[in-house]
Amino acid sequence: MRFDGTQVQNEIYVSGESPWPVGAGDWEARAAERLAPGPLGYIAGGAGAESTMRANREAFERRRLRPRMLGAHVERDLAVDVLGTPAPFPFMLGPVGVLSIAHPDGELAPARAAAGARVPFLLSTAASHSVEEIAEAMGDAPRWFQLYWVRNRDVVASLVRRAEAAGYAAIVVTLDTLILGWRPRDLRNAYLPFRDGEGIAQFTSDPVFRDLLPDDEDPLVAAGTMLAMFPNLALQWDDLTYLRELTSLPVLVKGVLTGEDAVRALTAGVDGIIVSNHGGRQVDGAVAALDALEEVRAAVGPEATVLMDGGIRGGADVVKALALGANAVLVGRPYVYALAVGGQEGVAALIQQLAAETDVTLALLGARSVNELDSSWIAESS
């Protein structure tokens, strides 16, 4: 299906007003008006002085696009295919936990919005709805499962097998959150949603995990049991061999920021790399994701599957990341703000806006397809 971003903006001009915020900053501002301090801090905040969050944006600001004129690009192709998962646009909705703190529908709302647009949705282990509930809500729409590798292999195996049985097309292992980062906003508010039983539905719906609980089904006991098995600093590269043997699905690792780790991950048998610093929520002072993307792509070569997240706020950012080596990008906070503002309809609007801005940017850049983008379309400013 041909998508034309100019139609989206023309509809707004013709109607005389936009029914939704336009632009990541507007979505965030509107969400800030609706969210309580604890949830807002958890969603918007980062680690330490939040310098990594700023670095993510500064890395995009340093890069400038190099438009080319008169390229006869009446139609543009935004579609990508990542490890057998087709997408109409070069972005996916990334895994964000505890979405029930943003909206009562939790993960169901963005999952349904993503399904409506056929945009792949990555479900977090730290979700308020189970893999089966999200699968039922999405039907045959594309979805991946993000795995937090807790300190219990039987629970890990059960989560992976359930995701595979429920039609998820890939497993994404997050490597950078084996313990929680130092997050001052959350510490000031003494806010940890898991403590109150939020975001643990994958565990409370899991038969292996439930066998570890006493018979009284106290939700606080379940939360405590999950939190006790969460820290897992003993995880090693060799453990990926176990996961590779456990499932036939493509396996990606998320949280890679160096070329040497990317090469090591591929050597361990994974199928793809997601360059990420967890949106600046884990290591304060870490390298910007976009800077790491260039290093990783150079290290693994042109054929490896490489995605990235961290700092994507608009269509120009999507295009820059693709030009610097990403096969596709993951969007995080922007869709969470849209969820807080308008539930499923808000997320659907955010998806449409981001797709439209990406298409318009591609048209003005002079490219016919996202697949033709490379570093020649980028200049770096001082």
Asked whether 272 and 305 are in contact (CB, 8 A), the reply is yes
For residue 86, give every residue at least 6 positions away whose Cβ sits within 8 Å of its Cβ, in sequence order, or none.
Answer: 79, 80, 118, 142
Q: How confident is the model over 33-37, as a mean pLDDT?
A: 97
Q: Provide the token pair at 184.
A: 């001052």
Residue 71 in domain: yes
32: CATH: 3.20.20.70
Confidence at residue 41, expressed as pLDDT on a 0 to 100 scale = 97
Instruction: Determine the structural domain holding residue 28 and report its residue range.
Output: 5-368
Confidence at residue 351, expressed as pLDDT on a 0 to 100 scale = 98
pLDDT tens digits, 208-263: 999 998 876 777 888 889 899 988 999 999 999 999 999 999 999 999 999 999 99
The CA angle 77-355-292, to the nearest 5 degrees, is 90
Selecting among 73, 103, 129, 278, the annotated active-site residue is 278
Residue 373 in domain: no
| Counted domains in the chain | 1
pLDDT tens digits, 160-194: 999 999 999 999 999 999 999 999 999 999 999 99
The greatest distance separating any two alpha carbons of the chain, rounded to the nearest whole angstrom, comes to 70
Q: Give Cα 20 distance to the centre of its chain.
A: 22
pLDDT tens digits, 223-238: 889 899 988 999 999 9
Confidence at residue 216, expressed as pLDDT on a 0 to 100 scale = 63
Give the span between the Cα atoms of 254 and 281, in whole angstroms: 14
Confidence at residue 221, expressed as pLDDT on a 0 to 100 scale = 87
Residue 171 in domain: yes
Residue 381 in domain: no
pLDDT tens digits, 307-328: 999 999 999 999 999 999 999 9
- DSSP code at position 286: P
Confidence at residue 9, expressed as pLDDT on a 0 to 100 scale = 92
Residue 133 in domain: yes
What sign does the dihedral 41-43-44-49 (CA atoms) show? positive
Residue 379 in domain: no
Residue 48 in domain: yes
Select from 309, 302, 359 the least CA-distant residue to 325: 302
Q: What is the percent of the chain where pLDDT is above 90? A: 90
278 assigned to active site: yes
Give me the chain's average pLDDT, please. Answer: 95
Confidence at residue 127, expressed as pLDDT on a 0 to 100 scale = 97
Residue 376 in domain: no
Q: Is the pLDDT of residue 1 over 60?
A: no
Which residues share a beta bridge with 273? 253, 306
What pTM, to 2 d.p., does this model score?
0.95
pLDDT tens digits, 279-290: 999 999 999 999
